[in-house]
Amino acid sequence: MIQQITKGIKISVSTNFEGRHFQRSQLFYFFSYCITIENQSNDTVQLTSRHWNIYDALNEVEVIEGEGVIGKKPILKPNETHTYTSNCLLRSSSGSMNGFFNMINFSTSKKFIVHIPTFQLMVPATFN
C-alpha cells in the first residue's frame, strides 16, 4: 500500500491486476485501484474534483480530470474516511498513476490540493 499526507489529508492506495481485456480487437490490461482518503486535520473538508496522470510502459500518457470521484464529492469531518474503487485500462502490462484531488476547507473557505502519490500498475508475471 502506498500512502502520502498533504495538509492533514492522508491518501492510501492499493492496486490489483484484474485481467486482460479485448476492446476493438486490441489487448488491454485491466487494473483496479482502491483509494482511501482520511481526514487527519482538525477541519471539515470536501473533495471537489480530481486530476489523474496515467502512464504506461509504451510512454503513453493519459490525463483525466473531472468533478468528484465516482460521482461523489465526499465531505469529511475530522477523523472520517472515504474509500472508493475505480479502474483503468493500459495498453502495456505495466504503468503508473499519480495526480491530485482539489479540496476545500470549510473552516477557512480556502481551496487546496492533496497529492496522490505515484503508484505502480503491474501484471504479477512481470515481477518474475
Phi, psi of 32 (to 5 degrees): -110, 155
Q: Domain containing 94 — which CATH number?
A: 2.60.40.1470
Of the chain, the percentage scoring pLDDT greater than 90 comes to 88
Say whether pLDDT at 118 is over 60.
yes
Q: What pLDDT is stored for residue 58 in this prediction? A: 87
pLDDT in tens, 59-107: 889 999 999 999 999 999 999 999 999 999 999 999 999 999 999 999 9
Structural domain boundaries, residue 20: 2-127
Q: What pLDDT is stored for residue 60 in this prediction? A: 87
Of the chain, the percentage scoring pLDDT greater than 70 comes to 97
Number of domains in the chain: 1
Phi, psi of 59 (to 5 degrees): 65, 25
Q: What is the mean pLDDT of the chain?
A: 94
Q: What pLDDT is stored for residue 21 in this prediction? A: 87
Say whether pLDDT at 128 is over 70.
no
